[in-house]
Amino acid sequence: MKKSIGILGGMGPLATADLFRKIVLLTDAARDSDHIRVYIDDNPSIPDRTAAILSGGADPLPAMTDSLRKLEACGADCIVMPCNTAHYFLPRLQALTEVPFLNMLEATAASCRQRFPGGTAAVLATKGTLSAGLYQAVLKKAGVPFLLPDETEQDALMRVIYDGVKAGKGPENYRADMEAVVRSLTAQGADHFILGCTELPLAAQALALDVPTVDPTEELARAAIRFCGYSVRP
């Protein structure tokens, strides 16, 4: 029996729309009825995850739990979160429900290992994701060598994410920051880049970034399609 997807979204809204779009585009479907049933709770009022991790900001778990309950009530067979930093809270959320969460970071690490055997990944992400060691843990487990941006590069990425994409600004506002980070990490030996914040695939697309990348949003879409018993478009 085919299954359905629940998207615990709003972190941010454009990233949520990007995941839904990728699920639709990547599902091997010839007509409307070949697609997956998807429930979306897009709650942009969920408190900022990085602020909660780094500086004692409001705990996002209550609002995330509210979204989870709504998706359960809809009948979702799995839950996906298009926010890398939100995966810090995934163990606490999973403990509240029997509906399985699909882990975007684990899917990304597996893709790095498969697509770039022996290669070195550069992890582009928020300070919250990096401080929590989320990608470091899954990449080590998958045996994928990696590099992390330094403090200055992390500041640049935060500007790309928060002052650029989340603020609805065009690529001319963040091109210099994004390209400087990529140049620096390439010089240090990175041969592919994990776009480890769900705003970064949007930035990379807008910039026509010409380096090998792994898009966690796309990897999550693929994992959700397969979980639900559908085929991924070749």
pLDDT digits 0-9 by tens, 60-117: 999 999 999 999 999 999 999 999 999 999 999 999 999 999 999 999 999 999 999 9
Q: Which amino acids are annotated catalytic?
A: 83, 197
Q: How far is CA 77 from CA 5, 102, 120, 229, in A?
A: 6, 11, 35, 11
Q: How far is CA 198 from CA 16, 55, 85, 129, in A?
A: 8, 21, 9, 12
Could you tell me the pLDDT band of residue 224, with boundaries at 50, 70 and 90? Answer: very high
Domain residue spans in the chain? 5-103+218-227, 105-216
Per-residue pLDDT, averaged over 26-53, amounts to: 98
Could you tell me the pLDDT band of residue 207, with boundaries at 50, 70 and 90? Answer: very high
Question: What percentage of the chain exceeds 90 in pLDDT?
Answer: 100
**Assigned CATH topology for domain 105-216:** Rossmann fold (3.40.50)
pLDDT digits 0-9 by tens, 112-163: 999 999 999 999 999 999 999 999 999 999 999 999 999 999 999 999 999 9
Identical fold between 5-103+218-227 and 105-216:
yes
pLDDT of residue 55: 95
Per-residue pLDDT, averaged over 36-51, amounts to: 98
Per-residue pLDDT, averaged over 206-219, amounts to: 97
Establish how many alpha carbons lie within 13 A of residue 188's alpha carbon, considering only the half-sphere containing its beta carbon.
19
pLDDT of residue 133: 97
**Assigned CATH topology for domain 5-103+218-227:** Rossmann fold (3.40.50)
pLDDT of residue 1: 85
Per-residue pLDDT, averaged over 227-234, amounts to: 97
pTM over 0.85: yes
pLDDT of residue 24: 98
